[in-house]
Amino acid sequence: MKEDIFDVLIYLFENYLDNEIEMFGDADAIATELIDAGFEQPEVSKAFDWLESLTEESTITPAVSSAFRIFSDQEKAALDLECRNFLMFLEHSQILTPISREIVIDRAMALKNENINLDKLKWLVLMILLSQPDDVVAFSRMEDIVYGLIPASLH
């Protein structure tokens, strides 16, 4: 089975994180379940590392609240124009704050060698918003976008 880290993350989200089960309490049992389900050990380890990094305290602070975002060449290579526009749409729609936007970009960049398309980015944003306990409304709005309940484009 050729799966990538996103497949593992989505599986974890749908089976553990979305149900607010404390995932890291029994990480070994969950890792074994993932391997039994056909996921490869390296991808399982990368997914757990990625999720653990979300629990670390963020030190990202925007210098100016009215500033605009310029993407670096590395970010442009990892996030195509559609993904970058979507991030700006989410911030304009107040689903992402400047801080959560930076966390999304940071976590996307941490997924080296992964092909990040718009669908994967939506899941990435949803998982990050879930890790931010004070963003319940933003999480709910993003969940509607991920599951196709509302359109994800500017008019």
User: Mean pLDDT per segment of 10 residues, for the chain of length 155 residues?
Assistant: 76 71 66 88 88 67 65 93 95 91 92 86 91 83 86 53
Among 9, 41, 56, identify where a domain stops.
Answer: 56
Q: Are residues 39 and 86 in the same domain?
A: no
Which pLDDT score is estimated for 109? Answer: 92
CB 100 within 8 A of CB 132: yes
CB 80 within 8 A of CB 26: no
Which pLDDT score is estimated for 56? Answer: 67
Within 10 A of 35 (CB to CB), how many other CB atoms are there?
13
| Domain range enclosing 32 | 1-56
Rounded to whole angstroms, the Cα distance separating 69 from 112 reads 21
Which pLDDT score is estimated for 155? Answer: 47
Rounded to whole angstroms, the Cα distance separating 25 from 132 reads 19
Q: Are residues 70 and 136 in the same domain?
A: yes
Q: Are residues 48 and 7 in the same domain?
A: yes
CB 142 within 8 A of CB 125: yes
Which pLDDT score is estimated for 75? Answer: 93
Which pLDDT score is estimated for 86? Answer: 96
Q: Are residues 91 and 147 in the same domain?
A: yes
Q: Are residues 42 and 98 in the same domain?
A: no
Q: Are residues 41 and 69 in the same domain?
A: no
Which pLDDT score is estimated for 61? Answer: 56
Q: Which of 80, 69, 89 is nearest to 114 (CA)?
A: 80
